[in-house]
Structure 1
Amino acid sequence: MGRDKRLEYAASFQSCYFFRLLYYMGTQYPIMGAIRMSYPYRYELYKRVDEPSGNEKYIILSTFPEKPNSDEINNAFLGKPRNQDKKPAGIWGFLSGIL
C-alpha cells in the first residue's frame, strides 16, 4: 500500500521547464527549431532562421496550451491552421456553404 501512494504522489508532479531541439526526421543536423515551456506559461514553438551574417536566430511560430505532438509541430512549420474541422469538399462543400 505504501508504494502505491508514493507512485501516485510522484505521478502528480508537473514539469516546470521543458526544452528540446527539433531536427529533420532521422538526423541530428541541421537544427530546424526548438520547443520550450517555462511554467506557468505555454509551450512555444520556434523556427531556426539563418541570417546572412552567418548567425542564427529563432522566431516564434506558435504557442500551445499542452505539449504539442508531432502532427501539430509539422502543421505549424508548414503554416497549416490549427483546430479546424475537416470541411466537406466538392459539391457537398458548395451546397453546405450556401445553405
Structure 2
Amino acid sequence: MGREQRLEYAASFEMCYQFRLLYYAGTQYPIMGALRMAYPYRYELFKRVNDANGKEKYVILSTFPSRPTGDEINDAFEGRTRDKVKKSSGFWGFLSGILST
C-alpha cells in the first residue's frame, strides 16, 4: 500500500467525539463554557454558570449541525443571531417586504 493510499484512507475517518473547554481570549482561566460533539448528534455549546452553593454547572446555549466558527460561538454567548441572507434595501427591499407577507 503506497503512501498516498494510506493518507487517503486516514483522511476518510470522521470525528466521533469532541470535547473542548472554552476560555476568554488569551487566557486559560476562567472557563466560560464548553463545546461538545458525540457522533451522530450535533455540536452542543454550553455556558458555565456558578450555583448559589459555590458549585458550577453547564447549561446548553445552542446546537450546531457542523463545527461552529468562533463568530458563531461568540454570537451564542452574547445572545445574538446572524442572518445568513442579506436583506435587500431600497425599492427592491420594499417590494420584497410587501410580496412576502
Q: TM-score range by the shorter chain?
A: 0.7 to 0.9
The aligned counterpart of 1:51 is 51
TM normalised by structure 2 equals: 0.85
Aligned partner of 1:81: which letter? T
1:31 aligned onto 2:31: yes
Distance, in Å, in 1 between the alignment partners of 2:25 and 2:31 is 11
TM normalised by structure 1 equals: 0.86
Aligned partner of 1:50: which letter? N
Aligned partner of 1:71: which letter? D
The aligned counterpart of 2:94 is 95
* SS state at 1:68 partner: coil
Count residues with an aligned counterpart: 97
Q: CA deviation at 1:83?
A: 4.3
Unaligned runs of 5+ in 1: none
Percentage identity across paired residues of the two chains: 66
Q: CA RMSD in A?
A: 1.9
| Matches for 1:2-81 after TM superposition, within 5 Å | 2-81=2-81
* SS state at 1:6 partner: helix
TM-superposition CA deviations, 1:10-56 (whole Å, max 9, x none): 00001110000000000000000000000110100000011111011
